[in-house]
Structure 1
Amino acid sequence: MTQPAAAPTVRRVDAKQRYEIVVGGETVGLTAYRDRDDQRVFYHTEIDDAFAGQGLASLLVEQALTDVRNSGKRVVPVCAYVAKFLERHDEFADMADPVTPDVLRWLETELAH
C-alpha cells in the first residue's frame, strides 16, 4: 500500500525574505520578495522541476498573498508569475499596485546588496 503524499505547506521565512512551499519536509519552491514601505514587492517565483505541474506555485502565491493581505500591506507583482496570478484572481486585485520604473530601480538597488 502506497503512502499518501504529504500535504504541501507554505511558510513565510522573514530572514530570507521569501515564502517557501514544503512537501514532505522538503522545500520545493519559493516566492521571493522585498518590503518597500507598505508594499511587498514580489520579484521571483520558482518550483523544483520534480514538482512541476502539481499546482504548487498557485498554492504558494495564493497563500503568500493572503498573508500579505492579513498584514495590511500592498503587493507589487514584478514577478511575472505573481502578475499572471493576480490577473486570474480578482479577489486580490484590490491590493495590487503597479510596477513602476521607480519600483524597478529601487528593487535593483535592493538586490545588489
Structure 2
Amino acid sequence: MTTKDISVSRNDGQDRYELRLDGELVGIADYRIEPDAVALTHTVVEPAFRHQGYSSRLAKYAVDDIISDGRRIKPYCSYMAAYLGKHPEYSHHVSWPQG
C-alpha cells in the first residue's frame, strides 16, 4: 500500500480551500468574506475520494484557519454545518445563518 501525499491549503485567488492528493485536486471548500464572518458556502470532494475522511480533513483545516485569523465562521454549506454540529468545541466561533 502506498502512502498518499495529502495537502490542504487556502487559495485566496479563488476564494476556496483545496485538498490535494499527490498534487491532484480532489476536494474544495468555497468561502466568501463577509463583514462579520467567513461564510463557508460549498464543499465538494470528488466521488472516488468520498467516505475516506477527506471531507472532514478539509473542513477541519478551513475551520482552524478561519479561527486562527480571529474570524467567525458562518456555515451556509450543509456539510460544514453538519461538521460544526458534530464538533461543539468550535461552537463559540460559529455564527449560524438566519433563515
The gaps in structure 2 that reach 5 residues or longer are: none
CA offsets 1:13-53 (integer angstroms, 9 cap, x no match): 00000000010110100000100013100010000011111
Q: Which has the larger radius of gyration?
A: 1
TM-score of the two chains, using structure 2 as the length reference:
0.95
Q: Which residue of 2 aligns with 1:106?
A: none
1:15 partner amino acid: G
Q: Which residue of 1 aligns with 2:55?
A: 57
Aligned counterparts, 1:55-94, within 5 A: 55-94=53-92
Q: Distance in 2 between matches of 1:27 and 1:100?
A: 32
RMSD: 1.1
The gaps in structure 1 that reach 5 residues or longer are: 102-113
- Size of the aligned set, in residue pairs, is 99
Aligned counterparts, 1:2-81, within 5 A: 2=1, 4-81=2-79
Deviation at 1:5, TM superposition (A): 2.6
CA offsets 1:61-112 (integer angstroms, 9 cap, x no match): 00110000100000000000000001100111110002025xxxxxxxxxxx
